């Protein structure tokens, strides 16, 4: 358990990076996790080349969702909208560096989902990991 809530996660939860609202932004998106009520709102400012120059987020969530988005926002500067849309889920999982159970996957992915929504200007097509059962796993319980 202390592995899940290791120092890096707690540090980002208690003092998230890029937390707050940008005064000026080009892209923004807000979404929530309907199962737990976590909400995040992302703001992105682009430079003249269409690359991320500033990013911030606000909202309320658990340690996993807050830390995941905090870690993610550290990595977004310089990326184009297309590059944001192409970010795989593993990108966030590697940043977190911990095992995420199926039920917590929704928490871990909320920030990425909102960043992609901001890039698209509408909800990103999203397959909900946490809701998908694994038949092999089900058979083994």
Partner 1 sequence: MEPTATTAPTLPRSIEEIRSEFPILAREVHGHPVAYLDNGATAQKPLAVIETLDRYWREQNANVHRGVHTLSEEATALYEGARETVASHLGADRREVIFVRNATEALNLVAYSWGRTNLDAGDRIVVTEMEHHSNVVPWYQVAQEKGAHLDWAPIDGEGRLDLDALAKLLERGPKLVAVTHVSNVLGTINPVAEIARMAHDAGALLVVDGAQAGPKLELDMAELSADFYAVTAHKMYGPTGIGALFGRRELLEEMPPFIGGGSMIRKVTKELITWADLPAKFEGGTPAIGEAIGFGAAVRWLDELGLPGVHAAEVELASYALERIGEVPGLTVFGPPAGDDRGGIVSFAMEGVHAHDISEILDRHGVAVRAGHHCAQVLMQRLGVPATTRASLAVYNTPAEVDRLIDGLIDVRRVFEL
Strand partners for 7: none
**CB of residue 69 to partner 1, shortest distance in Å:** 13
- By DSSP bridging, strand 27-33 and strand 38-46 are antiparallel
Of the candidates 63, 141, 64, 62, which has an alpha carbon nearest to the alpha carbon of residue 100? Answer: 64
- By DSSP bridging, strand 38-46 and strand 52-60 are antiparallel
User: Using CB under 8 A, which of 50, 60, 77, 91 touches partner 1?
Assistant: 60
Indicate whether 126 belongs to the interface with partner 1 (CB under 8 A). no
Indicate whether 63 belongs to the interface with partner 1 (CB under 8 A). yes
Residue pair 12/70 in contact by the 8 Å Cβ criterion: yes
**CB of residue 94 to partner 1, shortest distance in Å:** 21
Indicate whether 64 belongs to the interface with partner 1 (CB under 8 A). yes
**CB of residue 27 to partner 1, shortest distance in Å:** 24
Alpha-carbon span 31 to 50, nearest angstrom? 23
Indicate whether 36 belongs to the interface with partner 1 (CB under 8 A). yes
Strand partners for 44: 27, 55
Choices 15-23, 56-64, 68-76, 119-127; region in contact with partner 1 by CB under 8 A: 56-64
Would you tell me which residues interact with partner 1 (CB under 8 A)?
Answer: 1-2, 4-5, 10, 14, 35-39, 60-64, 66, 104, 107
């Amino acid at each position: 358990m202390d592995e899940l809530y290791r120092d890096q996660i707690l540090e980002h939860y208690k003092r998230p990076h890029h937390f707050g609202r940008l005064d000026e932004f080009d892209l923004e998106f807000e979404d929530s996790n309907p199962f737990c009520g976590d909400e995040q709102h992302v703001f992105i400012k682009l430079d003249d080349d269409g690359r991320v120059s500033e990013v911030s987020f606000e909202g309320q969530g658990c340690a996993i969702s807050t830390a995941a988005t905090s870690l993610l926002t550290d990595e977004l500067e310089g990326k184009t909208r297309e590059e944001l849309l192409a970010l795989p889920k593993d990108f966030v999982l590697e940043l977190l560096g911990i095992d995420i159970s199926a039920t917590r996957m929704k928490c871990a992915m909320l920030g990425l989902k909102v960043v992609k929504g901001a890039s698209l200007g509408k909800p990103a097509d999203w397959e909900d990991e946490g809701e998908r059962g694994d038949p092999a796993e089900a058979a083994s319980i």
